[in-house]
Chains A and B, each alone.
Chain A
């Protein structure tokens, strides 16, 4: 059947083309805003999750400091800045941890410090880690050079190397001349980029042997951190429980951070952030709703007489209502469709600018925001059209016919 009511809606939109375009534009903007923000969040979550999952196999054990689990920050130099956590893990405690944790993977200790460095006449600060000679090759991959073999040789992260133009053979003075004096070390290797990590942030750090470290700072057998690299990521919870049971039986001596939980909490934080940003983008759809409502009310007012004619020659209220709902749906569908197309382009640019990579742009988790935003846009149009349509349908036919 020829839907004359639909024809009337279409013609009304065509006659008031500019007005309709402006109303649909609101929906276009709203849909683009919501889907771009959604896609940005999804891409960010996906790429951060990917980046972090590499470190999810690490369990970090630090001395209990009475505070919360994140005291001092994992991987960060703990004695820095007046010492957030002055507590250390003793050699005996390390042996205890090793006994229960060994079966889950590799257990090793870390000395860490943050100190001034000087390369030629350039000064700066860096993290300095002291690790067992045998552990260093297990944890890090070199891009060039060799692993440190003496107490005066170190490997450095790629970020630090870039910052100070360090090459194999470069010399670094560690420490403050005016305080404890300096120690000169030689760069023998440059590490591969490792990214964000729970255990050691090696990219901008200096890594040397334990002997080099204790030679500079003392404190032998007082470790800042004990790490467990799991053989199986799924053992994380089991290992954590075993260590806590052993170490904290009488009183709390250690804090164990299970990185998979941290990963979950980062992902959920990103999710919350995405929702928040999308809610802000959603405000633009509210503005669009107001403009659709406005256009529909104008349409009703302008067509009062037409509604009167339709009603007087036998058009049911429901059909008058339908005519205006159609109009709102058409505006919504056109606006949402254009918005969806633009979202692909604008979303891509936003993701590229904010996340830095569009690797995950065409994944379902990211693209799903386009149909979702379209649906929200159309629903908002229909909702904005309901009252004007109801008003139109309930006009008194006689009054409506009298209108000029």
Chain B
């Protein structure tokens, strides 16, 4: 493990132009994440944690500097390619779960699979992932608003894993959960990392950050 760099940031700067003036959210951040790492990104609010995660998730582009994922510079990629990267290589787990409210739990997990394979899951992968996160068939037929926060986040974890991504990005994954559910989710992430998956997690909770093997602290858009 820890052999190949998965993500490389070189002097990445992100500036938001606001009517009140430019805001530098990321200030020349250089960073390398190796394959198989479990990294916690910490820092006070406004320090640029989420901006950094959005950059790593290819949801946004740097104002300047270079960001490479698997050796490819995202600067050279168009929207379609970046979207494909989010579908195939990156799994996202959000603080607010972000499940699609119109779809059932099962369909939410199946959704990225359909987008990637253009066919329904006939391998039983959706079912086994739902089993892995402890969602039974009855719960799987419910829509997100009918599930508890803990259940929704487990569905979200299953969804993030459906296309077997190399990288899991977690934005305050336990932020909306009680301590029991939070602990269970963190155990799941630890287990996934043990099996080789690279995990990057934004959190402001030092207890949660302890699960990670490396911690990056940010302040005023810089890695300290």
Interface residues of A (CB under 8 A from B): 1-2, 4, 7-8, 11-12, 15, 305-306, 308-317, 319, 397-398, 401
Question: By the criterion CB–CB under 8 Å, are B100 and A12 in contact?
Answer: no
Given A8-B103, A306-B101, A309-B98, the answer on whether A398 and B83 have CB atoms closer than 8 Å is no
* Distance between B219 CB and nearest chain A CB, rounded to angstroms: 22
Any A CB within 8 A of the CB of B99: yes
Is B28 interfacial (CB 8 A cutoff)? no
Top-10 shortest CB links A-B: A314-B87, A314-B86, A11-B102, A309-B98, A2-B120, A1-B119, A4-B114, A397-B59, A316-B83, A1-B118
- B8 contacts partner chain A, Cβ-Cβ < 8 Å: no
Chain A residues contacting B79 (CB-CB under 8 Å) are 317
Q: How far is the CA of A313 from the CA of B91 in the complex (A)?
A: 7
Contacts of B101 in A (CB 8 A): 306
B69 to chain A, nearest CB (A): 14
**Given A317-B83, A398-B59, A401-B98, does the pair A312, B115 have CB atoms closer than 8 Å?**
no
Whether A316 pairs with B86 at a CB distance below 8 angstroms is no
Interface membership of B47, Cβ < 8 A: no
B100 and A8 within 8 A (CB): yes
Q: Are B115 and A314 in contact (CB under 8 A)?
A: yes
CA distance A319 to B114 in the complex (A): 12
Interface centre among A310, A311, A313, A315 (most CB of B within 10 A): A313
How far, in angstroms, from A7 to B114 measured CA to CA in the complex?
Answer: 12
| Chain A contact surface mostly | helix
Please tell me if B38 contacts chain A, counting CB pairs below 8 Å. Answer: no
B57: which A residues are within 8 A, CB to CB? 312
Cβ–Cβ contact A306 & B102, under 8 A: yes
The answer to whether A7 touches B59 (Cβ under 8 A) is no
B84 interface hit (Cβ, 8 Å): yes
* Cα separation A308 to B57 with both chains bound (whole Å): 13
Shortest distance from the beta carbon of A105 to any chain B beta carbon, whole Å = 74
Give the residue of A1, A305, A313, A319 whose beta carbon is less than 8 angstroms from that of B92: A313
The answer for the CA separation of A15 and B163 in the assembled complex, in Å, is 29
* A335: min CB distance to chain B, Å: 22
**Contact status A316-B80, CB under 8 Å:** yes
Residues of A within 8 A of B159 (CB): 313
Known: A7-B103, A313-B87, A398-B59. A319 touches B115 (CB 8 A): yes
- Interface contact A314-B114, CB-CB below 8 Å: no
- Shortest CB-to-CB span from B45 to chain A, Å, is 14
Chain B 46-88 against A: per-residue CB contact (8 Å), 1 yes, 0 no?
Answer: 0000000010010110000000000000000001100111111
Please indicate which of the listed interface residues B86, B100, B103 has the most CB atoms of chain A within 10 Å of its own CB: B100
Distance in angstroms between the alpha carbons of A315 and B79 in the assembled complex: 11
Given contacts A8-B100, A312-B86, A313-B86, contact A1 B114 (CB under 8 A): yes
Chain A's closest residue to B107 (CB) is A4
Q: Does the CB pair B60–A398 fall under 8 Å?
A: yes
**B-chain residues with CB within 8 Å of residue A397 when the two chains form the complex:** 59
Nearest-neighbor residue (CB-CB) of B111 within chain A: A4
Query: In the complex the two chains form, is B60's CB within 8 Å of A312's CB?
Result: no
Chain A to chain B contacts (Cβ below 8 Å), 23 pairs: A1-B114, A1-B118, A1-B120, A2-B119, A2-B120, A4-B114, A4-B115, A8-B103, A15-B102, A309-B98, A309-B99, A312-B86, A312-B92, A313-B86, A313-B87, A313-B159, A314-B83, A314-B90, A314-B116, A316-B80, A398-B54, A398-B60, A401-B94
CA distance A398 to B92 in the complex (A): 13
For B107, what are the chain A residues with a Cβ–Cβ distance below 8 Å? 4, 7
Distance (Å) between the CB of A401 and the closest chain B CB?
Answer: 7
The complex places the Cα of A57 from the Cα of B144 at a distance, in Å, of 78
* Shortest Cβ distance from residue B14 to the other chain A in the assembled complex, whole angstroms: 11
